[in-house]
Amino acid sequence: MKLVRLDDIVGTDREVSAKQWTSRRLLLADAGMGFSVHDTLIHPGAPLEMHYKHHLEAVYCVEGRGWIEDHATGERHAIAPGTLYALDAHDHHTLFADERMRMVCVFNPPVTGREVHGPDGAYPAPPARADDD
Ligand code: 9YT
């Protein structure tokens, strides 16, 4: 069994920041769980366009309010505490925080370390495993 405390992540290399977010990476690929778990703050006031081409992500809002737009349909959905969105089709999307949002994010395959979005809105593909052909 492994225990991880947010206090032990903040200020270490497992706290990763980009302009619009700060991701506290509680579990990474090296935990061997098959997914990663992040406690992520979304900073308010600027749209954040993302397109995870190599990962599936589920995002559960626990604090703050905002909205998400699905680029495939143009639909916008309100996000508030108690709402989860699942990017089950590598959905191209934009997230906007009206106020600081705190999200619990789960990635499959797991994020390996300090990934930030590339110009295409994706995190890089995970390294190939030895048993992959
Ligand atoms: C909700 C979202 O995807 N935010 C960007 C950061 C990412 N979730 C992360 O690495 O924690």
Give all domains of the chain, ordered by start, each with its CATH number: 6-112 (2.60.120.10)
Q: What is the pLDDT of residue 114?
A: 85
pLDDT 10s digits, 56-94: 999 999 999 999 999 999 999 999 999 999 999 999 999
CA distances from 31 to 14, 95, 103, 113 (A): 13, 28, 20, 11
pLDDT digits (tens, 9 = 90+) for 43-55: 998 899 999 999 9
pLDDT on residue 133? 52
pLDDT band at 132 (very low <50, low <70, confident <90, very high): low
Atom of ligand 1 nearest to the CA of 116: 10
**Residue to probe by mutation, ligand 1, list 10, 25, 36, 40, most atoms within 8 Å of CB:** 40
- Cis peptide before 109, with omega less than 30 degrees from 0? yes
Read off the pLDDT of each residue in 6-26 and give the average, rounded to a whole number: 97
User: Contact 13/114 with Cβ under 8 angstroms?
Assistant: yes
Which ligand 1 atom is at minimum distance from the Cα of 95? 1
Q: What's residue 128's pLDDT? A: 78
The amino acid present at 8, given as its one-letter code, is D
Q: Is the pLDDT of residue 17 over 80?
A: yes
The pTM for the full model equals: 0.93
Q: Please give the number of the atom of ligand 1 that sits closest to the Cα of 115.
A: 10
CA 16 to ligand 1: nearest atom = 10
Question: How many CB atoms sit inside 10 A of residue 127's CB?
Answer: 10
Q: Which one of 10, 13, 21 would you pick to mutate in the ligand 1 pocket, going by the greatest count of ligand atoms within 8 A of its CB?
A: 21
Q: Taking CB atoms and a 6 Å cutoff, what residues make up the pocket around ligand 1?
A: 21, 23, 38, 40, 50, 57, 59, 95, 103, 105
